[in-house]
């Protein structure tokens, strides 16, 4: 294995990790921002008000995006496993 191969493999793994986690993190960010704006406008400083909507939206996002996320991870794992003979050389 060459250093270029290892770096390329690492870059691909990081790209897949970011791609898979981005939808859920984005949903959490949008809902957190909306709740923060709501809290600032109404001056309600309840800590649980921030967690419950985020948890619910991320759970719904997980249900919605789970097939796509699983497909991306399976594709990456399949590529890694099928190229094991190339990695050994």
The number of distinct structural domains making up the chain is 1
Q: How far apart are CA 45 and CA 68, in angstroms?
A: 36
Q: What is the pTM of this model?
A: 0.80
> What would the pLDDT profile of 21-79 be if each residue is shown by its tens digit?
999 999 999 999 999 999 889 988 888 888 899 999 999 999 999 999 999 999 999 99
Two tokens, residue 58: 């991320």
* Burial per residue of 9-46, b for 16 or more beta-carbon CB atoms within 10 angstroms, e otherwise: eeeeeeebeeebeebbeebbeebeeebeeeeeeeeeee
Q: How far apart are CA 61 and CA 40, in angstroms?
A: 26
State the residue range of the domain holding 62.
Answer: 3-88
């Amino acid at each position: 294995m060459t250093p270029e191969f290892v770096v390329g493999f690492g870059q691909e793994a990081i790209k897949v990790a970011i791609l898979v986690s981005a939808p859920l993190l984005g949903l959490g960010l949008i809902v957190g921002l909306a709740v923060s704006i709501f809290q600032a406008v109404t001056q309600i400083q309840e800590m649980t008000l921030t967690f419950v909507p985020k948890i619910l939206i991320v759970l719904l996002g997980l249900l919605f995006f789970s097939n796509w996320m699983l497909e991306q991870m399976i594709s990456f794992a399949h590529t890694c496993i099928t190229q094991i003979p190339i990695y050994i050389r």
